[in-house]
Amino acid sequence: MIFKGSERFSEFSPFLEYEDQESATWLKAALEYANEPLPAQHRTKIAVNATLPAVRPDLISSVLASFGTFGTVKIKIGGAGSDLEQDLARVLETNRLFPEAKIRLDANGCFSVADAVAFSQKITALPIEYFEQPVATIEELVQLRHQLQASGVELKIAADESIRKAVDPLEVSRLGAADIAVLKVQPLGGIRSALEIARTSSLAPVISSALESSIGIAHGLQLAASMTDLDYACGLATASLLAADVVTEPLIPTNGFLEVTEPVPDQELLKQFAVDAETQASWHQRLDRCLALLEA
């Protein structure tokens, strides 16, 4: 849902399968962005990474072409229908085509600890920045880090799902389960709450989108702009993964950077991509239920 508050346009876009309780956290973020003043900014442009989904090796160049110049590429591995061999082939081919690019891997928690160790041992020669959520649980992340250390593999681990879907987003930091925290505005309940998590945890932040339109991605840009320390490229260049957008100038990076802006939706595009009346009604009901939870 795209709506305008007292300050600016905002987006409420929890995934369809999410329960109301989890979606209400996303709504809290959307309302804060719409109605509250933004925190102080420390930068006006944000370095972003390209993202490579699980495509065949011969399609890598054309998929990555939509990101323009990039210094960092995130490669999705471990998804449904792919196997370790194919994942490895995709990573190696990406490195062959873009030898200067830093690589980060994201398995969305799909690997077992054993597979994650085996995979990590095969990529030690590559410029791997970090491996994001190789395994599903915080306990497995801790195990994995111990096993990597024991086998002499130096590889940074990032936590995404373990932070955004956790009851306590700081548990990862407390248990030493990762080096890097992937922070997303909507799942963490807003820019202020994400800033607080970054401040309290000992992890290096990477700000990412939750696959929003350019309106929602702008929430992440503001969070990235407000971070005091930001050493890694952010995962905010996801507009090109969408078939269409609601702004006339989608947030597509130039030379690996996105400008920090407050995009405004285009009325014609909003009309063009409006959902049918039944879907609209179900979203309004979802909004009401989530509002009730926030007010409870």
Cβ-proximal residue to Mg ion, closest one:
160
Region of 46 (left: φ > 0; alpha: ψ -120 to 50; beta: rest) is beta
Stretch of 100-108, 111-119, 134-142, 250-258 contacting Mg ion, by CB under 5 A: 100-108
Burial of 119 (0-12, 13-18, 19+ CB in 10 A): buried
Closest contact distance (angstroms) between CB of 74 and Mg ion is 8
Place of tokens 């202020």: 192
Q: How far apart are CA 165 and CA 155, in angstroms?
A: 24
Q: Which is nearer to Mg ion, 177 or 290 (CB)?
A: 177
* Single residue of 11, 87, 106, 140 touching Mg ion by CB under 5 A: 106
Stretch of 65-73, 79-87, 106-114, 121-129 contacting Mg ion, by CB under 5 A: 106-114
Catalytic (active site) residue 76: yes
Interface with Mg ion in residues 175-204 (CB under 5 A): none
Interface with Mg ion in residues 132-171 (CB under 5 A): 160
Rounded to 5 degrees, φ, ψ at 261 are -135, 170
Exactly one of 28, 74, 102, 184 is catalytic; which is it? 184
Q: Which is nearer to Mg ion, 11 or 160 (CB)?
A: 160
Catalytic (active site) residue 28: no
Q: Which is nearer to Mg ion, 160 or 212 (CB)?
A: 160
Stretch of 99-107, 111-119, 253-261, 288-296 contacting Mg ion, by CB under 5 A: 99-107
DSSP letters of 212-281? --HHHHHHHHHHHHH-S---S-BB---GGGSS--SSSS----BTTEEE-------HHHHHHTPPPHHHHH
Q: Does 129 bind Mg ion (CB under 5 A)?
A: no
Closest contact distance (angstroms) between CB of 131 and Mg ion is 11
Q: How far is CA 195 from CA 125, 191, 228, 239, in A?
A: 35, 6, 9, 23
Q: Which is nearer to Mg ion, 87 or 106 (CB)?
A: 106
Q: Which is nearer to Mg ion, 140 or 160 (CB)?
A: 160
Pair 35, 7: CB distance under 8 Å: yes
Exactly one of 45, 76, 156, 271 is catalytic; which is it? 76
Q: How far apart are CA 79 and CA 35, in angstroms?
A: 38
In the three-class reduction of DSSP (H, G, I as helix; E, B as strand; rest coil), residue 284 is classed as: helix
Number of residues near Mg ion (by CB under 5 A): 2
* CB crowding 63-74: b at 16 or more within 10 Å, else e: bbeebeebbbbb
Closest contact distance (angstroms) between CB of 68 and Mg ion is 22
Catalytic residues: 76, 184
Q: Which residues bind Mg ion (CB under 5 A)?
A: 106, 160
